[in-house]
Structure 1
Amino acid sequence: MEFLDVTHNGFLVAMSCVVALVAGFTGLSLTRDLSEKPMFQKKMSIALASIALGGGIWAMHFIAMLGLQLPILFYYDAAITLVSALSAILLVGAALILMHFAERTPAIISIAGGIVGIGILVMHYIGMAGLELCRAIYTTSGVIVSSFVAIGLCVLAFWIAYGQRTNRNIVLGTLCFAIAVCSVHFLAMAGTRFVADPSLSEFGPSMSNETLALGVIFFSFVIFGACLWVSVTYLVVSPKRETGLPEPSALHEADPTAMLQIPCERDGSKVFIAPNDVSFVRADGHYTQVYTEKERLFCVWPVTEATKRLVPAGFLKTHRSYLVNPRRVARFERTKDKGRCVFEGPDLPPAPVSRSKLKAIQDALASQVGAVRAT
């Protein structure tokens, strides 16, 4: 079996790496602050991020493949090429759904990163299967090394990008994602040999390098445009206040709830509720229900996010599913090893208190200004 001589176009190789960086930055930026967005906007952001990340994996691969130079003419199967793109987008989408609709535990972060790594591998090898007039032959070591690198680096990227959702971590996660995508391709290609194969696949229509280049250029243009769009959010600086009022930071130091607003939905519209107006928050699956004196509102925050934001503002976690505003508690009732907080509103249900928290909650409520009566 005679292997073909292989060379690469350095410029296209470099451009493929740039596209991987831009796609990673765009996709990870699109998923910032989703807990504060209404459900429809959250779903759209995840869909767009899946297209950016999955499409970026595909674009990186085929830009690099356009730089592949063989001594024979070769084509691509258009249907298989399309399947490779859709596979990457769907697997990345599955990972992002896990990250934003399941409780974000260490296991979930690792699983999501692993799914993206598998998506890179699946996209690469399906894309290579679309070659016509030549055939790729892989080595076991190349497949194994590229697989470990893909999954390991993608898990690391997700741990960095989602450990703390800061701009710095998103940039570092972008670097890990781009390195994962590029490493998989070039490590796999280093262990790949090509042989001439005169037979043509009948799975789909043939596509020349020129046609593929048009598709890749278009998709890369979309990714770069989306990158410019999300980059604006990193550059916007709030104008200085000239009203003579205290700066927001000063207000926040004086009252931890002054800057905090809880994003809720009322009749399909997004509204923001001040914590002081909330009696208690109850977990509802992956979301929460916010109870004010007169109404119950849906909130996109999971109970873990609500706990992180509201406990520093003075709320008490009385139960794994309940956060209580002590200012709204009318009385605390305890019967043996059971307890509950009763509120001012006549239609508000009581909030249960876990047995392990009875003493701590009773003491916390008693220390409030205008302490409640313990009965």
Structure 2
Amino acid sequence: MFEGHDPYLVALSVVIAILGGYTGFGLAARIRGTPDASHRVLLAGAAFFLAIGIWTMHFVGMLAAPLPPGTTYLVLPTIISFLICALVVGISLFFVSTGEPTLLRVMSSAVLLGVGIVSMHYVGMHGLAGPFAMRHDAGFVALSVLIAIAAAYGGLRAFLARQGGVQLMLSAIAFGIAVSGMHYTAMAGMHLVAPGEGHRHGEGLAASPQILALVVALLCFVIAAGFLLSLVPDGRKKAAADAPLVPEEVAPKAEAIPAPRLRAMPLGGVGQPRPVPAPRLPVEGADGTHFIDAADIRSVRADAHYTKVHDGTRERMCPWSISEAEAQLDPSLFVRVHRSHIVAIPHVSFVRKEGDGAVIELDGPSPHRVPVSRAKIAEVKARLGLNRRHA
């Protein structure tokens, strides 16, 4: 095990991992709250800052280690280690940011991300060049893999929880400590031993520790800048969350698109008010929040904590969950045909049995199809008047 690490650089490496985790997962958490056009930009930014944070933490930790004199860093393995990190981070975030975030999907992404982080570490380690031979203890290698997977799973769960503020910072701290723990666990299992006659570990184009320190310092400034920018509130997201709750009396008179009204009526003589289904659903556009009439809605699809509303032409993000949307839509016109799909029965133009379930097509300029679960086939047939036909 190495002794004599520079404590200041060790502390800096942990801080870098925390800031990178906060910035990356903070950006990734906004993916589900923005229009489709912004998804790629946010996903790329999240992957970039997470990869930069993890990679920079690794090499700050390397600079903190008491390496033998004359040690240099091979350029090609060092670049490859960063590309590995960026690739697995991007794939993992994409995998959990699209579709239903099931346990299997999140676990698969965590394993991929954890193995990618460990691969980045060991590829970077073998980028060391110097008069020594390198050995690794199998037990420490296995432990570092487990720590990396656990860190990846915790980070992805923080992303899916849509946390912000103090909660996101606490998650980032846990993620940064776990990633740093993986690095220093792997370092504890690495041994530089005396080489054979004339042996030198690593050959190729190399950079000195001084050059690496300059690159790392630059990336530290990039991470710090990204962290500060991530603290700027997302006004559009806040407006989307607040829009359904704005009372009619306090809404601005000049508002071009007013918030949906909620009228109250007595419930069974008890005198308690209940909301009447809203005639419109809020959807996000590039310029802010719009409202779509229920008559124009073809389908509603669950997308984690949000939904996608299809108006016959395209899908747009709605800040409501599928349960909230179902509660507001008229049950005589809309039916939940799948745990993740609601359809407008008047707009159904085609139905066909497929496997254990069925598929239906909704009309519009851009017709689209929606799956029907086996448990809902009878209800859909009854709503479409097909029971008499097939009796």
Short-chain TM bin? 0.7 to 0.9
For residues 312 and 54 of structure 1, what CA distance do their matches in structure 2 show?
Answer: 41
Matches within 5 A, 1:196-207: 196=194, 199=200, 201-203=202-204, 205-207=205-207
Matches within 5 A, 1:77-116: 77-116=74-113
For residues 318 and 249 of structure 2, what CA distance do their matches in structure 1 show?
Answer: 34
For residues 212 and 361 of structure 2, what CA distance do their matches in structure 1 show?
Answer: 66
For residue 82 of structure 1, report the CA deviation from its aligned partner. Answer: 0.9
Matches within 5 A, 1:1-375: 6-133=3-130, 134-162=132-160, 164-167=161-164, 169-196=167-194, 199=200, 201-203=202-204, 205-233=205-233, 245=250, 257=278, 260-263=281-284, 272-281=290-299, 290-291=310-311, 295-299=312-316, 307-314=322-329, 316-320=334-338, 322-324=341-343, 329=346, 356-357=375-376
> Is 1:318–1:352's contact at 8 Å kept on the other side of the alignment?
no
Matched with 1:370 is none
For residues 144 and 358 of structure 2, what CA distance do their matches in structure 1 show?
Answer: 56
Gaps of 5+ in 1: 332-337, 366-373
For residues 15 and 288 of structure 1, what CA distance do their matches in structure 2 show?
Answer: 42
For residue 118 of structure 1, report the CA deviation from its aligned partner. Answer: 1.0
> Is 1:52–1:223's contact at 8 Å kept on the other side of the alignment?
yes
For residue 121 of structure 1, report the CA deviation from its aligned partner. Answer: 0.3
CA shift in 2, pair 1:217/1:235, >3 Å: farther
TM-score where L is the length of structure 2: 0.72
CA shift in 2, pair 1:79/1:348, >3 Å: closer
For residues 219 and 112 of structure 1, what CA distance do their matches in structure 2 show?
Answer: 26
For residues 36 and 330 of structure 1, what CA distance do their matches in structure 2 show?
Answer: 27
Equivalent position SS for 2:52: helix
> Is 1:161–1:173's contact at 8 Å kept on the other side of the alignment?
no
> Is 1:23–1:52's contact at 8 Å kept on the other side of the alignment?
yes
- What amino acid maps onto 1:131 in structure 2? L
- What amino acid maps onto 2:46 in structure 1? A
Counting aligned pairs with the same residue, the percent is 25
Aligned length: 347
For residues 217 and 31 of structure 2, what CA distance do their matches in structure 1 show?
Answer: 30
For residue 255 of structure 1, report the CA deviation from its aligned partner. Answer: 6.1
CA shift in 2, pair 1:309/1:220, >3 Å: farther
Note the alpha carbon deviations across 1:210-250, whole angstroms, 9 max, x for none.
100111111111111111111112799889x9x96169999
- Report the RMSD for the aligned CA atoms in angstroms: 4.6
CA shift in 2, pair 1:202/1:258, >3 Å: farther
CA shift in 2, pair 1:230/1:330, >3 Å: closer
- What amino acid maps onto 1:279 in structure 2? I
- What amino acid maps onto 1:175 in structure 2? I
Note the alpha carbon deviations across 1:1-38, whole angstroms, 9 max, x for none.
xx9x7421000000000000000000101012323423
> Is 1:264–1:273's contact at 8 Å kept on the other side of the alignment?
no
> Is 1:19–1:59's contact at 8 Å kept on the other side of the alignment?
yes
> Is 2:13–2:58's contact at 8 Å kept on the other side of the alignment?
yes
For residue 40 of structure 1, report the CA deviation from its aligned partner. Answer: 3.3
> Is 2:300–2:322's contact at 8 Å kept on the other side of the alignment?
no
For residues 330 and 152 of structure 1, what CA distance do their matches in structure 2 show?
Answer: 46
Matched with 2:268 is none
For residue 308 of structure 1, report the CA deviation from its aligned partner. Answer: 4.1
> Is 2:78–2:124's contact at 8 Å kept on the other side of the alignment?
yes
Gaps of 5+ in 2: 253-257, 263-273, 349-356
- What amino acid maps onto 1:153 in structure 2? A
Deviates more, 1:51-60 or 1:27-36: 27-36
For residues 77 and 55 of structure 1, what CA distance do their matches in structure 2 show?
Answer: 19
> Is 1:24–1:53's contact at 8 Å kept on the other side of the alignment?
yes
For residues 355 and 84 of structure 1, what CA distance do their matches in structure 2 show?
Answer: 47
- What amino acid maps onto 2:294 in structure 1? N
Matched with 1:335 is none
Deviates more, 1:148-157 or 1:117-126: 148-157
Deviates more, 1:341-350 or 1:20-29: 341-350
Note the alpha carbon deviations across 1:69-109, whole angstroms, 9 max, x for none.
23523111011111111110101111011012243211111
Note the alpha carbon deviations across 1:164-190, whole angstroms, 9 max, x for none.
213255334323321221111111111
Equivalent position SS for 1:8: coil
> Is 1:314–1:325's contact at 8 Å kept on the other side of the alignment?
no
